[in-house]
Amino acid sequence: MKFKFLDWYTQALGATFGILACIYAYVNGYMFVYGNIGGYFDFLGFSGVTSSYLLLPLCLLNLFLSLIKSYTIKKEILNTSFESFNIFICILTVIIGFMGAKIYFIIPAAFILFHILEPYLHNYKN
């Protein structure tokens, strides 16, 4: 069962929830805003600094890719298919999201990875 609308819509919804989880992580101190990272590098560690710089842009990129996905069928970007590029960005966003927002990124990760995990969720009759 392949629903194109459900695939890009859940990815866009997950990216939106990811942006909200990113903001929540900024408020709780799991990540710092760009201006004051330098003084708190010891407190955050490498994963916190990495996610502070990358999580919000990756969530926004994931949102834009899901909107592009709604209009494209089979396109190529730099000699790779759009779908494989989209899957790479989705998985990278989820990994960075768990590094930065920690447990609060579970729901956005489930929505972002829905189109990858959807074939495994159905029980097909043999």
pTM recorded for the entire structure = 0.81
- Longest CA pairwise span in the chain (Å): 59
Q: How many CA atoms lie within 13 A of 84 on its CB side?
A: 6
pLDDT at residue 92 in the model: 93
pLDDT at residue 44 in the model: 66
Q: How far apart are CA 5 and CA 52, in angstroms?
A: 31
Tens-binned pLDDT, residue by residue, of the chain (126 aa): 455 667 778 889 999 999 999 888 888 877 776 665 555 556 667 777 788 888 889 999 999 988 888 777 677 767 778 788 888 999 999 999 898 888 999 999 999 998 888 777 765 544
1 C-beta neighbours (distance < 10 Å), count: 7
pLDDT at residue 1 in the model: 45
76 C-beta neighbours (distance < 10 Å), count: 11
Q: How far is CA 61 from the centre of its chain?
A: 8
